[in-house]
Amino acid sequence: MSQPPAIHHDLHARRFTLEVDGLEAELVYRLLEGAGHAGPVMVIDHTGVPEAIGGRGLAGQLVQAAFEHARAAGWTVVPACSYARAWVERHPDYADLVAH
C-alpha cells in the first residue's frame, strides 16, 4: 500500500495543499479573530480536487488536516464549504470544534 500524499500547510496563505500525479488539491480558509468567540475561528471556504485525481479521498484528508490543526491551535471551525460541512457530519469526533 502506498503512502498518502504529504499535506502542506501554508499559514500565511491560509491553505492546505497536497499533490498527486503533478496536480494540486487544496483547502482554503480564513482566520477570524475576536469574532465574539473565545479564540480564533477557522472558516473553511473552499476544498478543491482536480477531477483527474478525484475519488481518492483527498478532500477528506485535507479537511481532516485542517480540523487537526485547528484542534492543536485551540481554534474553532466554521465549515462554510459544502464538502467540509458534509465531512464533519460524517466524523462526529470533530463536532466539538464546530463554532456555534
Question: pTM of the prediction?
Answer: 0.93
> How many CB atoms are located within 10 Å of the residue 71 CB?
14
Q: Quick one: cell of 54? A: 478525484
- The Cα–Cα gap between 15 and 3 comes to 22
48: left (phi over 0), alpha (psi -120 to 50) or beta: beta
Going by CATH, does the domain composed of 8-97 fall within 3.40.630.30?
Answer: yes
29, amino acid identity: Y
- What digits encode the pLDDT tens for the residues 2-32? 678 899 999 999 999 999 999 999 999 999 9
Q: Where are the domains of the chain?
A: 8-97
- What digits encode the pLDDT tens for the residues 32-57? 986 566 789 999 999 999 999 999 99
Burial category of 98 from C-beta neighbours within 10 Å (exposed 0-12, middle 13-18, buried 19 and up): middle
